[in-house]
Structure 1
Amino acid sequence: MEYQPGVCNIGPTQRRRRLLLGVVSLLSAVALVAAILAVDWPRWTLLSTIFPLYGAAMGYFQHRERFCVGFAGVGVFDVGEGTERIDDPEALAADRKRAVRLNVKSLAVGALGALAIYGVAVVGP
């Protein structure tokens, strides 16, 4: 596996870390919903699930697309041979453009998930 600007900036080890981030974030969202319902907080507080759901989506997308948003932000990549710096301005720009798209996509998934959870809670029992 090799670094491809705007396409791939992480290898298998880093991908597993992103997947773990996604799983832990998803479990956090489930725990948050359970806690809100158990304590009987107002239903609107379920909208706070946007944060862990965003993390879950971000972890999943980074794993699936072999691309780390954080690495793009600081201008590095790690495809398995250690972290290396990106010196090419065009490559850095391509990575950062991709990072913005992944952030927007993850935020949209988190927001839609939070709205769905809220909607089900309001309509449900």
Structure 2
Amino acid sequence: MEYQPGVCNIGPTQQRRRLLLGVGSLLVAAVYVAAVVALAWPRWALIASVVPLYGAAMGALQYRERFCIGFAGMGVFDVGDGANEIQNEAALAADRKKAVRLNAKAMALGVAGTVVVFVAVTYLL
């Protein structure tokens, strides 16, 4: 696997880490929602599920896209041979542009998931 500016900045090992982040965050969201329901907390408390749902979306997107937002912000890439600094300004700009897009997608998915959870718990339970 090769580093491709604005396309791919992580290899298989880093991808697995992002997948674990996503799965772990999704589990945290499920446990939190279950706690809100089981403990009869106010429905507005479900809004806090946006945080782990954002994390789940972030992990899944980074895994799928083979791209780490944090690495883009730091100006590095790791496609399997350790972290390397990005020297080319155009490559760095391409990575940061993709990072902004991925972050926006993850936030949108987190918010959408929170709306689904809120509506489902409010009207189905």
Which TM-score band applies after superposition, normalised by the shorter structure? over 0.9
Amino acid at match of 1:118: F
Cα distance per residue 1:41-70 (max 9 Å; x no partner): 101111111100000000001001000000
Over the aligned positions, Cα root-mean-square deviation in angstroms equals 0.6
Percent identity over the alignment is: 62
**Cα distance in 2 for residues equivalent to 1:19 and 1:65:** 11
Instruction: Give the 4+ runs in structure 1 shifted more than 4 A.
Output: none
Amino acid at match of 1:64: R
* Counterpart residue number, 2:83: 83
Q: How many residues align?
A: 125
How far residue 2 of structure 1 moved from its aligned partner, in angstroms, is 0.5
Amino acid at match of 2:64: R
How far residue 99 of structure 1 moved from its aligned partner, in angstroms, is 0.2
**Cα distance in 2 for residues equivalent to 1:54 and 1:87:** 31
How far residue 123 of structure 1 moved from its aligned partner, in angstroms, is 1.1
- Could you state the TM-score of these two structures normalised by the residue count of structure 1? 0.98
Amino acid at match of 1:92: L
- Could you state the TM-score of these two structures normalised by the residue count of structure 2? 0.98
How far residue 107 of structure 1 moved from its aligned partner, in angstroms, is 0.3
Counterpart check, 1:67 vs 2:63: no
Cα distance per residue 1:76-105 (max 9 Å; x no partner): 000000000001111000000000000000
